[in-house]
Amino acid sequence: MRILVISDIHANLTALQAVLEAAGSVDATWCLGDLVGYGPDPNECIELVRSLPSLVCLLGNHDAAATSHISLNAFNYDARLSVHWLRGVLKPQNMSFLAGLPEKYVTHQVTLTHGSPRNPVWEYLLDTHTAAFNFDFFDTHLCFVGHSHVPLAYLALNGTGNVECQLFNNGDKLKLTMRAILNPGSVGQPRDHDPRASYAIFDPEEMTWELHRVEYDVLSVQQRINSLGLPRRHAIRLAQGW
């Protein structure tokens, strides 16, 4: 069984299309949130994700901000500009889709959320100390999160109470024998200094997680961002993945 796990598309249709083509045939798609924000193609990305069969989709912080469900005060200046633009261009049906997304979902004995199991929309899991606390906030063997835009795994070392962080490169495959929190990285705005779109394939029968990277036409996305008058920083960072 092949389940495509994606997160943080951030309105980057070109990257999303490249991921779907590279992933090929899958049995289901789990999207961990932030379909919108930063990028130039919010409606197109939502509509493509909505069309995917056997979809589970979670609410991200940018999705929640676009639908006015959370305050913009926690966002930086450029992100606020992007959200204001979003609110003016999202189609009503796509706004309704975002507004109806759950913050947490449990399926195939995996807990899915955007930020963390403790704080599904906002908390970043950026270190082993924070990750260790979060293992008490889900009961399943595995938890999949996004939000940090970095592909990694936090592994609970059996019987020790300690947590180990493992980073992933393209093609790395992990046998999931320990409890773990896993992040597939970002489709539309990677932040691990690798500009290639990131995604994972999860096999719940074999209990494996395989990380993949795929190149896409970054320049065309940058040109669309700039032509719409969106913050230039959101275009510049795509080229180097920061």
Residue 175, C-beta contacts closer than 8 angstroms, at least 6 positions apart: 207, 208
Q: Measured in whole angstroms, how far is the alpha carbon of residue 63 from the centre of its chain?
A: 11
Q: Residue 18 has what pLDDT? A: 99
pLDDT at 73: 85
Domain count within the chain:
1
Q: Reduced to 3 states, what is the DSSP secondary structure of residue 191?
A: coil
Which CATH number covers residue 13?
3.60.21.10
Give the three-class secondary structure for 107.
Answer: strand
Contact 63, 33 (CB under 8 A): yes
Q: Which helix (H) or strand (E) holds 209?
A: strand 208-214
**14, amino acid identity:** T
What order do you get walking across the sheet with 173-175 strand by strand?
Answer: 55-57, 28-31, 3-6, 197-203, 208-214, 173-175
CA 152 to CA 37: how far, in whole Å?
A: 22
Tell me which residue range forms the domain holding 179. 3-239
Q: Evaluate whether 142 touches 185 at the Cβ level (below 8 Å).
A: no
Query: Which regions in the chain score pLDDT beneath 70?
Result: none
CB 231 within 8 A of CB 189: no
Q: Tens of pLDDT along 216-237? A: 999 999 999 999 999 999 999 9
> How confident is the model at residue 71, as a pLDDT?
84
Measured from the Cβ of residue 220, the count of other Cβ atoms closer than 10 Å reads 12
Sign, CA dihedral 125-126-128-133, equals negative
| Spatial contact of 156 and 174, defined as CB atoms under 8 Å apart | no
Identify the pLDDT of residue 108.
83
Q: For the chain, state the CA radius of gyration.
A: 17
So what's the pLDDT on residue 74? 82
Q: What integer pLDDT is reported at residue 175 of this predicted model?
A: 98
